[in-house]
Amino acid sequence: MSSVPHQVGCVMKGSLLELWRRQDVWILFLLMGVYTMVALGARITGDGTLASGTFMLNLGISLAGYFANGFTALIAIRQFPDEIENRTIYPLLAKPLTRDSLLIGKWCACFVGGSLAFLAFHLIALVVSPASEPISGTLHLQYLLLQFLSLGWIAAAGLLLSLILPRSLGLGILLLMYAGGESLFQWGESREVALRYLLPRFGSLNVATRLTDGIPALKAAEVGSMILYAVAWALFCFLLARHSLLRRSL
């Protein structure tokens, strides 16, 4: 029996290869291409002020974050259902491969795939955006770190939902949580609903507007809380996904 890291590496490589063969990421690149054309048009014609450049930068990096998180949710939600439907999970587990290795490998593949897509989209947004108001470099790094954590969390949540719900329902719920979790929390806060603290607040990790607003970096305690928050949620989802996978009869 090979070592766990080797097993995880093999699963991850296989899943990444599968991602590469699918068309989803290219569709998102095409959408980023539309943004690129508008932004480059503004750069070439020299149209706009620093304020409109800042608006474009905000739009670009926000789109990069939304696309990457959406993409990660999409790939995470179909990892296990696809393997089960195609019956490819049986030879994998008979290799022998432990279910833990399979889960970690799938999570790593979703996280790495999502992160690479995010980096590419983010880089496009930074390169093509017109000149903007100055932004904090430290906050930029904090933003990137928090987005990577958000991708790790959404990957774990996607795997969990794919194991307990039908694929499309799971994807719908995950995207709703991603897009509306923070708004729902704000709504609960205005009505002082205590359960609001149990809502998944993906939006609280998105500091893109704070970044393009020229606000200084988050304090160590603030960013530390946000990191721990994302890690706690990702671990929660991951542990439940593991529990569900181990109990599942295949």
Partner 1 sequence: MKVVTMSALGCLLAAAFLSTQINPDAYREGYSRDPLLRAEVNQSSLARILGEFRTGASDMLFIKTERYLHSGVGYVPHLTEDLLTVQGTDKGVDEHLAEMGDAEEDVFEHEEEAEVLVPRAESDYRGWIGDMHREIKPWLDPSIPHRHTDGKELIPWFKMMTLSDPGYIRGYVVGAFWLKRHQPEAAMAFIEEGLKENPEAFQLHLSKGMLLLSEARKRAGKGKLPGDTPESLEKVLLAKDAVQLAATYMLSSRPPLPEQGDITDDPGWGKYEESDAMAAVNLSVMLESDFGDPETAQILREQFRPLMPDNPRLQ
* Distance of closest approach, residue 237 Cβ to partner 1, in angstroms: 9
Closest-CA residue to 39 (of 25, 27, 22, 57): 57
**What are 94's two structure tokens?**
């008979």
Looking only at residues 211 through 230 of this chain, which bind partner 1 when binding is defined by CB under 8 A? Answer: 212-215, 218, 222, 225-226, 228-229
**63 vs 75, beta carbon nearer partner 1:** 63
Does 209 help bind partner 1 (rule: CB under 8 A)? Answer: yes
Candidates 8-16, 67-75, 104-112, 185-193: pick the segment binding partner 1 (CB under 8 A): 185-193
DSSP string, 226-239: HHHHHHHHHHHHHH
| Residues composing the chain | 250
Tell me how far apart the alpha carbons of residues 184 and 250 are, in angstroms, rounded to a whole number: 37
Tell me how far apart the alpha carbons of residues 100 and 124 are, in angstroms, rounded to a whole number: 36
Structure-derived torsion over alpha carbons of residues 138, 139, 140, 141, reported in degrees to the nearest 10 = 60
**154 vs 205, beta carbon nearer partner 1:** 205
* Distance of closest approach, residue 91 Cβ to partner 1, in angstroms: 27
Residue ranges binding partner 1 (CB under 8 A): 38, 42, 47-49, 51-52, 54-56, 58-59, 62, 133, 183, 185-187, 190, 196-199, 201, 204-210, 212-215, 218, 222, 225-226, 228-229, 232-233, 235-236, 239-240, 242-243, 246
